[in-house]
Amino acid sequence: MISKQESGRRAKAAALFDKIDALLVTKPENVRYLTGFTGSNGMLLLLRDGSATLFTDPRYTVQSKQQTDCEIVIAKGTLTKAVLKAFTKSGARNIGFEQDHLNVAQFEALKKGLTLGLELVGVSGLIENLRMAKDEGEIALIRASVIANSQALENALGRLEIGMTEAEFAAEIDYANRKLGAEGLAFDTIVAAGVRAALPHAHPGPAVIGPGMLLIDMGVFHNGYASDMTRMVHLGEPTEQYREAYAAVLEAQLAAIDAVKPGAGVVGVDKAAREVLKSHGFDKAFVHSTGHGLGLEIHENPRIGRKGKGKLETGMAITIEPGVYLEGWGGIRIEDTVLVTSTGCEILTPTSKALRVVS
């Protein structure tokens, strides 16, 4: 189905052209954002006047027609060749390319085929920055992705048993998400039991889930849009140390969420979480950023960290996910997907954050 919003996005993008007459978009998420085309092989040439041509291969002849209202070129050879032809016809002198995405081989092929007088100009983050603030349609898709992901956790927890391996429980989560309509995982599901929870990005393996803490970080794509959530469950009665650490991380997470509003600097939001953890003596145990944007990709701008840039804007979808990690003990992280609204924020993740004990 072709929707109208993509042409509006292309006009917005073209209005940002500064030193370039045209932009060759190669990153699949950016191509999708500007055209609606979801195929794996596509390039978009966007001109200053907003007109656009999508280049793809014969496998996508039907699909591209169904998904986009751009002009379509089905390339018989490489896309690069077809793109070069269009460069010459376009009248553009300076053509931007996505320097964070185009690989060296593609760049060399483009450069070699350029007509005299045409220049390639590296461009960074132009479409990514446009994608930061989501429109109503995107927000609805992120919301649906987040709700399904939360439901999948509940379904999987119904099957959790002591003695399962991390990998088995991760498979239960992935199965539950697939059954709820996820088209794929946003990242490899993290299930980390006991001391392994001290590894922020533990890969689920043969470790057996016993009494103790269990960290679960999960996210999926629904209709192209990501969800991301981390929750802790404790099998059997938790220790006092676990309760205290859990309370500290939750306090930090709530403090950061409290700081989320339009105009708030991302560094300030990160600091809000960091200050709370510091007051509990956990400042050295918080080894990553507080959060990240998400949308068509699981990690997008803005980055909510000490080195993050810029301010929050209405419509941004971000995660807030402070954690503490203590070698030889374990780790705790709590993560929600949060929407920046005109008045502050809305926590999209419906799953409770009360300390959860399963027996």
x/- binding map, residues 215-244, to Zn ion, per CB under 5 A? --x----------x-x--------------
Contact, 204 vs 169, CB < 8 A?
yes
Contact, 209 vs 164, CB < 8 A?
yes
Q: Which H or E run contains 214?
A: strand 212-218
Distance separating alpha carbons of residues 282 and 268, to the nearest angstrom: 18
Output 6 or 335, the one with its CB closest to Zn ion: 335
Output 36 or 322, the one with its CB closest to Zn ion: 322
Output 83 or 332, the one with its CB closest to Zn ion: 332
Output 25 or 182, the one with its CB closest to Zn ion: 182
Q: How many CA atoms lie within 13 A of 359 on its CB side?
A: 1
Size of the site for Zn ion (CB under 5 A): 5
289 touches Zn ion (CB under 5 A): no
Nearest distance in Å: CB 250, Zn ion: 16
Please give the full DSSP string across 77-93, using - where no structure is assigned: S-HHHHHHHHHHHHT-S
Distance separating alpha carbons of residues 51 and 182, to the nearest angstrom: 33
x/- binding map, residues 325-354, to Zn ion, per CB under 5 A? ----------x-------------------
145 touches Zn ion (CB under 5 A): no
Output 228 or 297, the one with its CB closest to Zn ion: 228
Output 75 or 199, the one with its CB closest to Zn ion: 199
Distance separating alpha carbons of residues 76 and 54, to the nearest angstrom: 14
Angle 266-279/240-259 helices, nearest 10 degrees? 160
Q: Which H or E run contains 137?
A: helix 136-157
Nearest distance in Å: CB 261, Zn ion: 20
Nearest distance in Å: CB 175, Zn ion: 19
Output 83 or 226, the one with its CB closest to Zn ion: 226
Nearest distance in Å: CB 86, Zn ion: 38
Footprint on residues 58-87 left by Zn ion (CB under 5 A):
none
Structure tokens at 248: 């500290």
319 touches Zn ion (CB under 5 A): yes
Nearest distance in Å: CB 9, Zn ion: 25
Nearest distance in Å: CB 192, Zn ion: 12
Structure tokens at 71: 């002009």
Output 128 or 228, the one with its CB closest to Zn ion: 228
Nearest distance in Å: CB 190, Zn ion: 7
Helix/strand/coil percent split, the chain, to 5: 35, 25, 35
Written in H, E and C, the secondary structure of 34-78 is HHCCCCCCEEEEEECCCCEEEEECHHHHHHHHHHCCCEEEECCCC
Q: Return the range that interacts with Zn ion (CB under 5 A); candidates 65-73, 74-82, 103-111, 209-217.
A: 209-217
Nearest distance in Å: CB 258, Zn ion: 19
Contact residues: Zn ion, CB under 5 A: 217, 228, 230, 319, 335
